[in-house]
Structure 1
């Protein structure tokens, strides 16, 4: 259990702060859970204070941003140069050839995702990154929460989601007064309210930004156009809030892709599916790439990432030669050559997490995640077999399950009373790639009840921005 110092002293009651936060996010139309249909009167619990981080934790988060951006750049170079063919082989699995050709085109050779969001667990051993997302949701909700707490007098970690998002979009185009379209697919439609909210916030700082469905985008030989409130506007930069695995289901997807290839519009994140795989977490730990990472991202950043990114491996179903074994893994104290041995473990031994790597609806959210110790033995055995059998189309990764530190987090209940619960906490820092640097816009903390194995937004979770504690 961990005690935390508060952010600062505020001359408002805890109930007043909670009501201010509730009123603010309700007025913004964000008091709902993306992807959830529930009669609950809330989408998550509200805290009377931001989640406090230590000075060392904040400093680590700031260092992680540039380290992760350097890592994405190194992966981009590694893939496009093709010096390690087996890396490309892994990252190309399951993708259509047309998309792979687009990914390798020279027009966006150096393009990287505009937003990087790791999922970070707080453990007794420090931060542990379990996910990397370059098409993340949640940053509109974080911006809204942040404004409410700032209005209550709190100082938060980060330089502001709205302002950094605006800077990132502007940096992707040379247009002096750009028009930005945030295109939200049907698959991601539950996030349209927060993207609409963000677009309104961007317009408040002078960026002509609009959240639209793909059907709202039209194409001519001059470029892409949208018509918000009857205005016909040419789009200079398009924020792609849709997954590449879903392209066949997205209206106008081919036209948007064509416009990007012809440089009629700047699209971010770029059409590079190899940058949207959980397998990237496994590559940082791969011994065959050790020298490459050291040289490409530097010793300090490499060791920071290797220490922080949780142990991850690719569930490759191909036979291992008799003289070799699966690197970095042992079972009952001995090396092994076949992932299927993991099916035999007791509940205590099954401290593993299986996840689809990417380019699949199962990789969205936590749909395809399986926690070994939380399943009956028979179901875990089936999950291992399914992960291996899907390798040729949807590879899976396996991670060690990490226990999180129990931390006391305050929240307001439905009657207005303030309580404190021991919780498991995930941090989601949002980094915006601007002129070669990763700018920290803000950090969203999600605190779930201690009996939950997976930490994500839910009605029993507390969600709040982060501040730096006084100690």
Structure 2
């Protein structure tokens, strides 16, 4: 059992799935053991709780209920208006609905190097899952897992806002939204005019100056006028959090903010050695 190079190439949608670069194809998907699959699937809940805990720590620090250096450090380099928006009460319960840990498979299991809440590759992964499943492989999540998971973000449809900076990913998102029906579409983030639709943000917040409607979108989101994921919370997109997980100054605070089993799992998946220079 295996796919030929011609079968894979011939199965690509018109226009491809990714702009630029060349693909290295495999006749079969990457194999993991049942134990590795269980480890991977068990990561979701602890990582979601970790992000909620991060937001709680940030908001308490910003309010002066925890040492203020934490929020000050995470706000470094961020525009004032975006810092203000993420602190609004209406943003308190808004969290990314798609998160992807970047994992390295080691002899002792997976190690996490990053937690991305604006990940690329969703459409590519969805297409590959279909192709390999059709060829008879048992793909984690099944042939429709990625497509249906993405549909659940906006069940009634909506717009995927893709910026020019993220343009290489536009083909995969166009393919993905085509699988979801007529109520879904891909829209240029730079040209988008707010219309009340639910939105999936596929642009980095550092690119905000190129997107004319970004401040209105952020304010409308904070006021509950629109639904958008990922939310306008730049601190949650800061890689610093994984280093702060090991900060001696925050040890007791993390122990209060996270269940012991979750904290232990996170520290196993993201060892302190990553932060040693």
Q: Using the TM superposition, give the Cα deviation of residue 400 of structure 1 relative to its aligned residue in structure 2, in angstroms.
A: 5.0
CA distance in 1, matches of 2:251, 2:41: 24
The alignment's TM-score, normalised by the length of structure 1, stands at 0.54
* Partner residue, 1:63: 42
Q: Does 2:199 match 1:238?
A: yes
After superposition, the C-alpha distances for 1:152-182 in whole angstroms (9 at most, x for unaligned) are 1112112511101111233xxxxxxx33110
* Partner residue, 1:194: 172
The alignment's TM-score, normalised by the length of structure 2, stands at 0.90
Aligned residues between the structures:
271
Gaps of 5+ in 2: none
CA distance in 1, matches of 2:123, 2:31: 21
CA distance in 1, matches of 2:120, 2:71: 27
Aligned residue among 99, 117, 126 for 1:116: 99
**More helix by percentage:** 2
Q: Does 2:40 match 1:20?
A: no
Shift in CA distance, 23/84, structure 1 to aligned 2, threshold 3 Å: farther
Q: Using the TM superposition, give the Cα deviation of residue 303 of structure 1 relative to its aligned residue in structure 2, in angstroms.
A: 0.8
Regions of 4+ moved over 4 Å:
none
CA distance in 2, matches of 1:273, 1:111: 12
Q: Using the TM superposition, give the Cα deviation of residue 296 of structure 1 relative to its aligned residue in structure 2, in angstroms.
A: 2.3
CA distance in 1, matches of 2:35, 2:247: 28
* Partner residue, 1:127: 110
After superposition, the C-alpha distances for 1:374-405 in whole angstroms (9 at most, x for unaligned) are xxxxxxxxxxxxxxxxxxxxxxxx7459xxxx
SS of equivalent to 1:190: helix
Greater relative contact order: 1 or 2 (C-alpha under 8 angstroms, separation 6 or more)?
1
Q: Does 2:11 match 1:50?
A: no
Given that 1:76 and 1:110 are in contact with CA atoms closer than 8 Å, whether structure 2 keeps it comes out as no
Match runs of 1:72-111 below 5 Å: 72-82=51-61, 83-111=66-94
Match runs of 1:348-427 below 5 Å: 399-400=275-276
CA distance in 1, matches of 2:98, 2:272: 24
Given that 1:183 and 1:214 are in contact with CA atoms closer than 8 Å, whether structure 2 keeps it comes out as yes
Given that 2:112 and 2:270 are in contact with CA atoms closer than 8 Å, whether structure 1 keeps it comes out as yes
Shift in CA distance, 80/211, structure 1 to aligned 2, threshold 3 Å: same
* Partner residue, 1:283: 244
Q: Using the TM superposition, give the Cα deviation of residue 252 of structure 1 relative to its aligned residue in structure 2, in angstroms.
A: 2.2
* Partner residue, 1:184: 162
Q: Using the TM superposition, give the Cα deviation of residue 101 of structure 1 relative to its aligned residue in structure 2, in angstroms.
A: 0.6
Given that 2:101 and 2:113 are in contact with CA atoms closer than 8 Å, whether structure 1 keeps it comes out as yes
Q: Using the TM superposition, give the Cα deviation of residue 214 of structure 1 relative to its aligned residue in structure 2, in angstroms.
A: 2.2
The structure whose Rg is larger is 1
* Partner residue, 1:162: 147
* Partner residue, 1:30: 16
CA RMSD of aligned residues (A): 2.0
SS of equivalent to 1:161: helix
